[in-house]
Amino acid sequence: MSTRQAQGTTLFTALLVLVGIGVVVQLWLLAASVDAFMRHEGSTAVHAAIASAVVFVINGLLVLYVFNFDRKIKRDG
Amino acid sequence: MSDEKDRQQNDCLECKKKKDARWREDFPVAWESDNYVTRREMVKFLALGSLTIAGANAVVAGLPHIVKAAEMPRTRVALASSIPVGGSKLFSYPREEDPCILVRQSDGNLVAYSQVCTHLSCAVVHNEKENVLFCPCHHGYFSVDEGRPFAGPPTRPLPRIKLEQQGNEIFAVGVEIA
């Protein structure tokens, strides 16, 4: 395994952990917004939805970055 | 004796292997690769999960706007002249099984709230002396002005019943949840 490939593997693992944490945060936000909805507190649910969307964008960008990195490694050999 | 036993065991193992091989030919499933999930697949799965949860969150946030409150009936509650200052009257709104309380305050204004305590659903009563709505189950106190809890275990205000007065008649026209 080349150094670049080893870097890629480490990056992928780190990203996996980060995205996993993001998903857990999103699950917590979803639970909080459902709770707020049941208590008729619309504003909390809206804020939770915005935060969840932000976390999703961060997750998406991280995934795109690592896939681009992976493609680069494959192309360069 | 022991050699014969070993040979029999070996024969048995070979039989098993043959059987296994035949079985694998009939059902050519690559179990090892089937159970193996790559990092790439896991990241894709998590990203899709993230999208799904964000969507679910947006739906929950939009629900109050999508699902419009059901049309509330207009129900005659009482005659205004029948309730003295500091007095109260019980009624049901919007359904027969939803108890409410109508109170005339010291300034002559009429206010109505759901009678169901927001703590554990006991019925609140009007305490004329202290001018409060009182839940006798766990000693919860709500203000008559706004229905807000100010003592005891309840943390949420009582749902307010919207009233309309037409001549001497009072009508309940909606429920306002703070």
Domain ranges, residue B143: 75-176
- Asked if the model's pLDDT at residue A56 lies above 90, the reply is yes
CATH of the domain at B147: 2.102.10.10
Q: Are residues B146 and B115 in the same domain?
A: yes
Cα A42-A47-A52 angle, rounded to 5 deg: 125
Q: Structurally, how many domains does chain A consist of? A: 1
Tokens standing for B123?
């019925």
Please tell me whether residues B108 and B167 are part of one structural domain.
yes
Interface contact flag, A42 B50, Cβ < 8 Å: no
Residues B116 and B172 in one domain: yes
Tokens 């870097």 label which residue?
A: A7
Q: Residue B135, SS3? A: strand
Residue that is last in its domain, among B41, B66, B91: B66
Residue B163 confidence (pLDDT): 93
The count of structural domains within chain B is 2
Q: What is the rounded distance in angstroms from the CA atom of residue B166 to the CA atom of residue B173?
A: 12
Confirm if B123 and B140 have CB atoms less than 8 A apart. Answer: no
Q: Which domain holds residue A43?
A: 3-72
Question: What is the rounded distance in angstroms from the CA atom of residue B102 to the CA atom of residue B20?
Answer: 80
**pTM for this model (two decimals):** 0.56
Confidence of residue B19 (pLDDT cuts 50, 70, 90): low
**Domain assignment of residue A23, yes or no:** yes
Whether residues B54 and A46 touch (CB distance < 8 A) is answered with no
Assigned domain for A77 exists: no
One domain, residues B100 and B49: no
Helices (H) and strands (E) in chain A, counts: 2, 0
The one-letter amino acid at B67 = V
Cβ-Cβ contacts under 8 Å, A22 against chain B: 46, 50
Q: Which residues of A touch B178 (CB under 8 A)?
A: 40
Q: What residues of chain A lie within 8 A of the CB of B61, using their CB? A: 33, 42, 45-46, 48-49
Which of B39, B66, B93 represents a domain boundary (last residue)? B66
Cα maximum dimension of chain B: 113
Digit-coded pLDDT (tens) for B147-167:
999 999 999 899 999 999 998
- Does residue B1 register a pLDDT over 60? no
CB contact under 8 A, B61 and A45: yes
Whether the complex's predicted ipTM surpasses the cut of 0.85: yes
Q: How confident is the model at residue B17 (pLDDT cuts 50, 70, 90)?
A: low
Report long-range pairs for A23-30 (Cβ below 8 Å, ≥24 apart).
Answer: A23/A59, A23/B46, A23/B49, A23/B50, A23/B53, A25/A55, A26/A52, A26/A55, A26/A56, A26/B50, A26/B53, A26/B54, A26/B57, A27/B53, A29/A55, A29/B53, A29/B57, A30/B53, A30/B56, A30/B57, A30/B60
Window from A52-56, B55-59, B63-67 with minimum mean pLDDT: B63-67
> Do B51 and B79 fall within a single domain?
no
CA distance B107 to chain A (A): 31
Residues B134 and B104 in one domain: yes
Tens-digit pLDDT profile for residues B79-116: 988 999 989 999 999 888 999 999 998 888 999 999 99
